[in-house]
Copies of this chain bind each other. A is one copy, B any other.
Amino acid sequence: MSASSDAEGPRIGRREANRRATEEAILNAAETIFAEAGFGGATMQLIAGLAGLPKANLHYYFASKEELYRRVVERIFQIWLEAARAMDDAPGPAEGIAAYIDAKMEISRRHPNGSKVWASEVMHGAPVIQDYLETTLRDWTAGRAAVIQGWIDAGKMAPTDPQHLLYMLWAATQHYADFGHQIEVLNGGPLGDADWRAARESVKRVILRGIGVAV
């Protein structure tokens, strides 16, 4: 068990690598617990247990429960923003909105806990991400609404309130994460590849046809 055999990166020592891995593990555990129990129902003990650490060690990496929660929410917001780029550089709604639906459905499948934490945060009045809503999200939404309006003006899609269309896109896609439990019960079990494909195609078909884009 020599101490210098791995040497993968030139910069990062074992200290730094361990630190990052531990922080990541804590954030993952926290995301799960916050999604399952909500902020109030989550306990540092539960998070520590899932991360495989003593509770006191959590407070070495994250000063407080609030800070840990904030970090979790911020991480989710980053993923959200990356998916939002799927809509960029599309020549029209047929490609842009289809790509956006695909990206958001993929997030609902891969990061259901993140989506749930985000939903919970917004439902409770966005106590920690209010500024994100008022700045980043607001700007992004306004920009996308303008693009959609441009498509309408160019006759590429039927007149539709861009703002409410965006809400419908968020709602339809995030529903598969936030209400995943209900869907699984009604489906008689977890969704498989075919189920997810059917869901994705259903959402795309209804919405694209709904805005007057041929499918």
Contacts and interface: CB of A to CB of B under 8 A. Distances in A.
Interface of A: 35-42, 116, 119-120, 122-126, 130, 133-134, 137-138, 141, 158, 160-161, 163-165, 167-168, 170-172, 174-176, 178-179, 181-183, 185-187, 198-199, 202-203, 205-212
A160 B116 CA distance: 27
A212 B206 CA distance: 9
A154 to B, nearest CB: 19
18 contacts: A38-B38, A38-B124, A39-B41, A40-B40, A41-B124, A120-B123, A122-B178, A126-B181, A133-B186, A137-B186, A138-B186, A160-B206, A161-B202, A164-B203, A165-B206, A167-B175, A167-B199, A171-B179
Given A38-B39, A39-B40, A165-B202, 10 more contacts: A36-B125, A41-B124, A119-B119, A120-B120, A120-B123, A122-B182, A123-B178, A163-B187, A171-B174, A172-B172
Q: Is the interface of A mostly helix, strand, loop or mixed?
A: helix
B210 A38 contact: no
When all copies of this chain in the complex are counted, the total is 2
Nearest to A211: B206
Given A40-B39, A41-B39, A207-B210, A164 B123 contact: no
Given A123-B119, A133-B186, A171-B172, A205 B37 contact: no
Contacts of A158: 209
B185 A133 contact: yes
A171 B171 CA distance: 5
Contacts of A161: 198, 202
A104 B176 CA distance: 19
A48 to B, nearest CB: 17
B160 A205 contact: yes
A96 to B, nearest CB: 16
